[in-house]
């Protein structure tokens, strides 16, 4: 196992504290641009498919070098190599972390993971052949994905983002919550003979998914549906449970694919049906390009590393508690939900990898909306609120909708918001005063193609890895979600029995009101 060092045990951590107490706290973006005409060039980076302007962040070149020193001293490189070497870096679950293998073309793989790669290829080929058959099957008009968390957010986000590449002959539905409104709303729109249900669950035990899957199966048979094999397909690492459920068509994946990192696996089947096998392979290839950038670019110009270092700078030194994601593309309207799971389930931890309580903060809150709408809602707070919230703009250069005027207006607004956050309106008084100096990152995708999206998502995955690595935590478990599940199991039967014995007074009181 690679030797990891927690950020607070490095000399760089102390240097960063000094930098912050010295000039970091008072860093002024306007002054920094005035003093350095080369600032934009110096602080922008090109990664595969994604250009990043970091120059509106509260850093300069010397500070960036000190931050990069932190990544070096924490042994991020060794940790990264341990992940790419198939080591069990998810030590609380004793698992390797190899979602990157799902998009690997196969050359120069470490011997240790070659057997896994063979299986990856077999499942990918079979799944894509199935996706093609479904695409060609005109009798299937509706695809209903039943899954939650990583078995929902990635595929849903990708199908929306890649809408321009989606086969318009079919409709795609995503049912995640156990709230019966969701499933019943979809079932009202579909017919058993023309619907394919994809039951997506890594564990095949998740309460929401299994409840929805059972209800969908009951609806299917009640409507006269007979051919479960044709109309139900399982995407899971628990192949046996899928068989016991009565599903014979199953595409599997492995315990070394975390749920929130699983859209590249069989969990991506709805995406593959929607955009087709070739485009799905392009999605994987784009992600792989970013994997290679992450593996090979020097830390100083490695985009996932530099974004993670900014996260640490803002969270642990400036004390900022959240980051707002601002996509300027309506196709990215589920991006923030996807990122919430990716970042907050991965890095929302309060102990380090050895179980010791951490003396510093970890994951910020991630939030946002497609920003053209956000501008008319919460951007007021970003500009004049009492908290400073770094904003991450995501814009796309080329679009295909044929309304160039719309696109120029959209992009002008994105640029203007970033500018307004930085410049403020210092000469105005009272209610019109805007302090400015509010940091932002501007990510620019050439085009929202499958490869571009793949690269963007892999960028975020690796940024989360690096931030977790610096914080010394295990980004790949999620023990915090278990307690609520156990308690819900205890409460549910009480809706029938009416028994409130042993419950706290608040829960008992609420339950009685609900009975
Ligand atoms: O409860 C959290 C979680 O385990 C997520 O990590 C996961 O993505 C989601 O539930 C769904 O899990 P599964 O794919 O096993 O149904």
With cut-offs at 50, 70 and 90, classify the pLDDT of residue 32: very high
Residue 267 CA: nearest ligand 1 atom is: 14
How many whole angstroms separate alpha carbon 286 and alpha carbon 290?
A: 7
Task: Locate 209 and state its tokens.
Answer: 């998914």
Tens digits of residue pLDDT in 128-143: 999 999 999 999 999 9
Tens digits of residue pLDDT in 290-309: 999 999 999 999 999 999 99
Identify whether 485 is a catalytic site residue.
Answer: yes
What number of other Cβ atoms are within 10 A of residue 89's Cβ? 24
Task: Locate 70 and state its tokens.
Answer: 């932190």
The whole-number pLDDT of residue 3 equals 83
Residue 482 CA: nearest ligand 1 atom is: 1
What lies within 8 Å, CB to CB, of 246 at 6+ separation is 217, 228, 232
The whole-number pLDDT of residue 455 equals 98
Whether 271 and 160 have beta carbons less than 8 Å apart is answered as no
Tens digits of residue pLDDT in 197-231: 999 999 999 999 999 999 999 999 999 999 999 99
Q: Is the beta carbon of 478 within 6 A of some atom in ligand 1? A: yes
Whether 334 and 157 have beta carbons less than 8 Å apart is answered as yes
Taking residues 165-183, report their average pLDDT. Answer: 96
Residue 485 CA: nearest ligand 1 atom is: 1
Identify whether 489 is a catalytic site residue.
Answer: no
Q: Is the beta carbon of 195 within 6 A of some atom in ligand 1? A: no
Sort 318 into a burial class: Cβ within 10 Å, 0-12 / 13-18 / 19+.
Answer: middle
> Which stretches does DSSP call E strand in 111-248?
142-146, 171-175, 195-200, 232-236
Tens digits of residue pLDDT in 375-407: 999 999 999 999 999 999 999 999 999 999 999
Tens digits of residue pLDDT in 328-365: 999 999 999 999 999 999 999 999 999 999 999 999 99
Taking residues 146-153, report their average pLDDT. Answer: 98
How many whole angstroms separate alpha carbon 484 and alpha carbon 490?
A: 10
The whole-number pLDDT of residue 371 equals 87
Give distance in angstroms: CA of 452 to centre of ligand 1: 26
Identify whether 345 is a catalytic site residue.
Answer: yes
Asked if pLDDT for residue 1 goes beyond 80, the answer is no
Q: Which of 18, 21, 164, 376 is catalytic?
A: 376
The whole-number pLDDT of residue 167 equals 84
Taking residues 57-76, report their average pLDDT. Answer: 98
Whether 357 and 350 have beta carbons less than 8 Å apart is answered as yes
- Nearest CA owner, ligand 1 atom 6: 259
Tens digits of residue pLDDT in 439-485: 999 999 999 999 999 999 999 999 999 999 999 999 999 999 999 99
- Nearest CA owner, ligand 1 atom 3: 149
Q: How far is CA 501 from CA 167, 486, 512, in A?
A: 54, 17, 12
Q: Which of 116, 345, 369, 461 is catalytic?
A: 345
Q: Is the beta carbon of 207 within 6 A of some atom in ligand 1? A: no
Q: Give the CA count within 13 Å in the CB-facing half-sphere of 266.
A: 27
97, 99, 150, best to mutate for ligand 1 pocket (most atoms within 8 Å of CB): 150
The whole-number pLDDT of residue 2 equals 57
Give distance in angstroms: CA of 148 to centre of ligand 1: 6
Taking residues 39-50, report their average pLDDT. Answer: 98
Give distance in angstroms: CA of 201 to centre of ligand 1: 7
- Nearest CA owner, ligand 1 atom 16: 201
Tens digits of residue pLDDT in 246-291: 999 999 999 999 999 999 999 999 999 999 999 999 999 999 999 9
Pairing outcome for strands 232-236 and 322-328: unpaired
Taking residues 42-63, report their average pLDDT. Answer: 98
Q: Is the beta carbon of 236 within 6 A of some atom in ligand 1? A: no
What value, to the nearest 5°, has the Cα angle with vertex 129 and ends 123 and 135?
135
């Amino acid at each position: 196992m690679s030797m990891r060092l927690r950020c607070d045990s490095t000399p760089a951590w102390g240097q960063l504290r000094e930098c912050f107490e010295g000039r970091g706290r008072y860093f002024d973006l306007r002054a920094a641009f005035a003093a350095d005409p080369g600032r934009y060039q110096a602080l922008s980076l090109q990664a595969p498919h994604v250009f990043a302007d970091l120059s509106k962040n509260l850093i300069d070149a010397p500070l960036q070098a000190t931050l990069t020193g932190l990544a070096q001293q924490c042994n991020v490189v060794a940790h990264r190599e341990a992940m790419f070497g198939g080591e069990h870096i998810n030590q609380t679950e004793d698992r390797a972390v190899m979602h990157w293998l799902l998009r690997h073309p196969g050359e120069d793989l470490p011997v240790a993971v070659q057997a896994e790669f063979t299986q990856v290829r077999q499942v990918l080929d079979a799944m894509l052949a199935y996706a093609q058959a479904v695409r060609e099957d005109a009798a299937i008009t509706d695809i209903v994905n039943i899954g939650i968390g990583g078995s929902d957010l990635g595929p849903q986000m990708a199908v929306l983002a890649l809408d321009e590449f989606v086969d318009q002959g079919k409709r795609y539905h995503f049912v995640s919550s156990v709230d019966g409104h969701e499933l019943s709303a979809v079932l009202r729109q579909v017919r058993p003979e023309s619907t394919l249900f994809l039951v997506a669950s890594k564990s095949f035990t998740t309460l929401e998914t299994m409840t929805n899957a059972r209800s969908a199966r009951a609806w299917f048979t009640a409507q006269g549906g007979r051919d479960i094999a044709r109309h139900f397909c399982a995407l899971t690492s628990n192949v046996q449970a899928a068989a016991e459920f009565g599903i014979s068509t199953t595409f599997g994946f492995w315990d070394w694919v975390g749920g929130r990192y699983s859209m590249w696996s069989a969990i991506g089947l709805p995406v593959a049906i929607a955009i087709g096998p070739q485009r799905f392979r392009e999605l994987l290839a784009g992600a792989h390009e970013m994997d290679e950038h992450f593996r090979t670019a020097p830390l100083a110009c490695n985009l996932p590393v530099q974004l993670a270092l900014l996260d640490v700078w803002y969270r642990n030194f400036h004390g900022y508690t959240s980051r707002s994601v601002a996509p300027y593309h309506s196709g990215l309207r589920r991006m923030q939900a996807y990122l919430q799971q990716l970042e907050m389930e991965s890095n929302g931890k309060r102990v380090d990898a050895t179980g010791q309580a951490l003396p510093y903060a970890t994951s910020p809150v991630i939030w946002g909306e497609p920003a053209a709408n956000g501008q008319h809602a919460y951007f007021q707070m970003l500009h004049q609120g009492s908290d400073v919230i770094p904003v991450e703009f995501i814009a796309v250069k080329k679009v295909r909708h044929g309304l160039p005027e719309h696109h120029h207006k959209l992009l002008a607004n994105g640029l203007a918001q970033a500018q307004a956050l930085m410049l403020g309106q210092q000469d105005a008084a009272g209610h019109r005063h805007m302090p400015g100096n509010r940091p932002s990152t501007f990510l620019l995708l050439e085009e929202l193609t499958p490869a571009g999206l793949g690269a963007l998502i892999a960028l975020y995955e690796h940024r989360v890895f690096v931030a977790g690595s610096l914080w010394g935590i295990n980004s790949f478990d999620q023990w915090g979600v278990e307690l609520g599940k156990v308690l819900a199991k205890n409460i549910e039967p009480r809706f029938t029995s009416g028994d409130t014995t042993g419950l706290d007074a608040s829960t008992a009181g609420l339950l009685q009101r609900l009975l």
